Amino acid sequence: PVFLVSDVAVAALQIAMMGHLAQIYDLILSAKAKLYLLTSLGTTVLGVTLRMLASSAMKAIPFLSAAGMAADALVSAVATGAVGALYRELFRRVRGKALMGEVTPEDLEAVMSLQEQREFFKSYLERIRQPLMELVEDLQNMDISAVEAALAST
């Protein structure tokens, strides 16, 4: 596990996802619109980015590397899901403007302000957080010997 390598890969996947979602919604994004999305996204997901850095740093510590990899994968998956949901909502809203040509940052801002983007992202994370916390709690309360016995009997 190398510090920050997975974060760069996740960022590249999220940028590619933006392009694919734009194609699905038949949007032509101007270069300024793409830059706007990337910079607004950066400020919107700052808290998640810090968590990703912390989990990535954990991978560099030998006795924490397994926990760091698991945390990194979970945070990356949740963040990518939230980013995708945000892009989907933005593109759904701006789709009508795409009929008139290239989508600009002003078009994106008109359909969803930066504050609304932050609230949408945060709301999505909160909705997904509860089931994940329940799953973690179930895993912590799981009787390993019962699981091993069940697996051995199959």
- The pLDDT tens digits of the residues spanning 41-85 come to 776 665 555 555 555 555 555 555 666 667 677 777 888 888 899
State the chain's mean pLDDT as an integer: 78
- CA–CA distance, 74 with 76 (Å, rounded to integer): 5
> In the predicted model, is pLDDT for residue 99 greater than 80?
no
- CA–CA distance, 154 with 152 (Å, rounded to integer): 6
Beta bridge partners of 103: 29
Q: Can you tell me the mean pLDDT for 94-100?
A: 76
- Residue, of 120 and 56, whose pLDDT is higher: 120
Q: Can you tell me the mean pLDDT for 99-113?
A: 86
Residue 55: C-alpha distances to residues 45, 66, 131 (Å): 15, 10, 20
Closest CA to 11 of 47, 42, 56: 42
**What would you measure as the largest C-alpha separation in the chain, in angstroms?**
64
Helix (H, G, I), strand (E, B), or coil: what is residue 112? coil
Q: How high is the pLDDT of residue 80?
A: 86
At 40, the pLDDT band (50, 70, 90 cuts) reads confident
- Residue, of 16 and 135, whose pLDDT is higher: 16
